[in-house]
Structure 1
Amino acid sequence: MPRKRSSTKSRIVKAAWNLFYKKGYDGTTVEDIIALSKTSKGTFYHYFKGKEALLNSISDLFDSKYEELRSEIDPNLSAYNTLLYLNRELFHMIETSIDVNLIAFLYSSQLITKDHRSLLDENRLYFMWLREIISKAVESGEFSPDSSTDELLKLYAMYERSMIYDWALCKGTYSLSQYSSRLLPHMLDTFIHGI
């Protein structure tokens, strides 16, 4: 049952963000979201108070992408290559399916919200899976034991948030995934050799 609830909410979130990208936030109605997600009005309002509540669901969208990637990724990849792959795929999804203005709004709202800051929620799949990957790499010696798993996880998450922030600040004038694919290897090299 929890799996079905998760996939229903995920369908609503994916449909909403797809419509926000194609029609803009103001051009998207709750009815549009309900139709595209193939849910009912009652189901929609069970998960969200309204369209505005979906703006805080960006982390759900990211976790949905991670869930897809988890089932596709080669389990024999090194942690280094796994992190490169996850970053490339997540950033490609962001730049090709999320309006840059909404990203900018969401990042700024996380700074002033009195509610839960979803981008920092360590119970998300994003953090749990990254912790698992990094922890195994530290234990196996792929990443230097000079830094703890927590420290490396924090650095990686900070890197991704800062890249997304800069991309939004620059109004998406460059390819997020391409630029990151040039920079991330340098940071991951420090994970290997020690910070």
Structure 2
Amino acid sequence: MPPMTPRQIKAQQTKKKILEVALDLFSKKGFDQVTVDEIVNVSNTSKGAFYVHFNSKYEIFLEKFKEIDDFYETFTETLPSKMSYSEKIINLTKSQMVYLKDCLGKDLMRTVYISALTPNQPKTLSNTDRTLYKIIHSFVKQGQEQGEFKDYIPAKEITMLITRCMRGTLYDWLLFDEESFDLVEESQKFIGPIIASLSK
């Protein structure tokens, strides 16, 4: 790959700056309270630069989700090859909740859920082409082939059940007071029995 030109480097730096400032503002003020004008003012960029990199505020989330998908891939590579597929799914769920809680935060996740219900917005949470779905499906499929999971239920259906548990736990986290709802602990309470019911 040829080295980037100074112009490309500058564009990449501008995009990163806009992204970081926008996420910080969303976290502090709430997604709906932040305007594109405020993002470009605080980031000391221009509206033109913003729209070169992002079509809307919501695309900031899509960019962040690419980072999350990279995290899933990297984490999956650290799992021992001899670990059961049940354990891999449970460990991935736990790491997912820690990552979303610490790196995205409750306010941003609330905005993602609200946006998912808004017409004409990208359906990031239910997009089965995302890395998370592909990883879970792969674990389920391989688990079925090795006799770990029930094979009379399609792998796609099991994948949907597992990811529905993940979304449901995140949704409850947004509904309940944070002090009385430990996201990581509750995710393990939820996913454990589901995996057990799908196992042979």
Normalised by the length of structure 2, the TM-score is 0.74
Matching of residue 105 in structure 1 with residue 106 in structure 2? no
**Max radius of gyration: which structure?**
2
Matching of residue 182 in structure 1 with residue 157 in structure 2? no
Equivalent residue runs for 1:114-133 within 5 Å = 114-133=120-139
In structure 1, the residue matched to 2:102 is: 96
TM-aligned CA deviation for residue 172 of structure 1: 3.0
Q: Secondary structure at the match of 2:178?
A: coil
Structure 1 segments unaligned to the other structure (5+ residues): 36-40
- Between 1:87-96 and 1:10-19, the stretch displaced more is 10-19
1:18–1:116 Cα change, 3 Å: closer
When the two structures are aligned, how many residues end up with a matched partner?
A: 185
In structure 1, the residue matched to 2:8 is: none
In structure 1, the residue matched to 2:24 is: 19
Distance 1:190 1:138 in 2: 14
- Between 1:167-176 and 1:11-20, the stretch displaced more is 11-20
Equivalent residues of 2:149, 2:198 under 8 A apart: yes
Amino acid at match of 1:166: D
Match among 148, 170, 180 for residue 142 of structure 1? 148
Q: Secondary structure at the match of 1:98?
A: helix
1:64–1:33 Cα change, 3 Å: farther
TM-aligned CA deviation for residue 175 of structure 1: 1.4
Equivalent residues of 2:128, 2:134 under 8 A apart: yes
Distance 2:22 2:139 in 1: 28
1:192–1:107 Cα change, 3 Å: same
Identity of aligned residues (%): 18
For each residue in 1:23-63, what CA deviation from the matched residue of structure 2 results, as whole angstroms up to 9, or x when unmatched?
Answer: 4556896469979xxxxx98864441354431344533431
In structure 2, the residue matched to 1:86 is: 92
TM-aligned CA deviation for residue 98 of structure 1: 2.2
Structure 2 segments unaligned to the other structure (5+ residues): 5-11
Normalised by the length of structure 1, the TM-score is 0.76
1:44–1:82 Cα change, 3 Å: farther
